[in-house]
């Protein structure tokens, strides 16, 4: 809601993101994040935005009806709370997705390692005088060589990542 209103009002005033950012003493990326809904300006910045855009804060937050000042503050607080809850939910969802990705990465590393151990490098007995067999055999050997050296570090990273992103509630 705020992001769409901010973008619409900024464009109606003929300002680019860069021009608005200069007037607010922020970087253009900050304005971009506000307009994409990735972050929310704090209450002081909302007031500054409303002054620069010559628009009431309530209109920025989606109100079209003029209310008294105390109701404005109450509605602003309620809308900021809703926006903060939405951002918190997005952050929690990203953390959960990352957590499970780390767990799956660790599981995949263990699975590949077990498959390599069970297979026992069968390509070592192949006839390497055939060019196609030689290419495939060298590729498998290169994969195995790199995997055995990189997998322990990746597995440790997966364990640390899963531990850092676990649910703390």
pTM exceeding the 0.85 threshold for the entire prediction: no
Q: What is the pLDDT of residue 69?
A: 54
Q: What is the pLDDT of residue 68?
A: 46
Look at the domain 2-66 and name its fold: 434 Repressor (Amino-terminal Domain) (1.10.260)
Note every long-range contact of 72-80, with CB atoms under 8 Å and residues 24 or more positions apart, other chains counting: 76/43, 76/46, 79/1, 79/2, 80/40, 80/43
Residue among 38, 28, 78, 85 at smallest CA distance from 57: 78
Domain ranges (residues) in the chain: 2-66, 94-164
Cα separation, 80 vs 78, in Å, equals: 5
Both tokens assigned to 24: 């607010």
pLDDT tens-digit map of 117-157 = 888 777 777 788 888 888 988 898 899 889 989 999 999 99
pLDDT tens-digit map of 9-50 = 999 889 899 999 999 999 999 999 988 988 888 888 888 898
Q: What is the pLDDT of residue 104?
A: 97
For the chain, give the mean pLDDT: 86
């Amino acid at each position: 809601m705020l992001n769409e209103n901010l973008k619409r009002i900024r464009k109606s005033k003929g300002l680019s993101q860069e021009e608005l950012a200069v007037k607010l003493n922020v970087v253009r990326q900050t304005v971009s994040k506000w307009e994409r809904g990735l972050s929310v300006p704090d209450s002081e910045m909302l007031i500054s935005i409303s002054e620069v855009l010559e628009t009431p804060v309530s209109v920025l937050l989606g109100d079209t009806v003029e209310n008294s000042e105390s109701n404005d503050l109450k509605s602003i607080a309620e809308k900021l709370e809703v926006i903060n809850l939405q951002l918190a939910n997005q952050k929690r969802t990203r953390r959960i997705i990352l957590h499970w990705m780390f767990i799956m990465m660790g599981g995949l590393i263990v699975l590949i390692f077990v498959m390599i151990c069970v297979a026992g490098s069968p390509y070592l007995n192949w006839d390497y005088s055939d060019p196609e067999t030689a290419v495939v055999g060298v590729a498998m050997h290169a994969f195995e060589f790199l995997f055995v050296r990189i997998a322990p570090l990746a597995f440790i990273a997966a364990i640390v990542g899963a531990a850092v992103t676990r649910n703390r509630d």
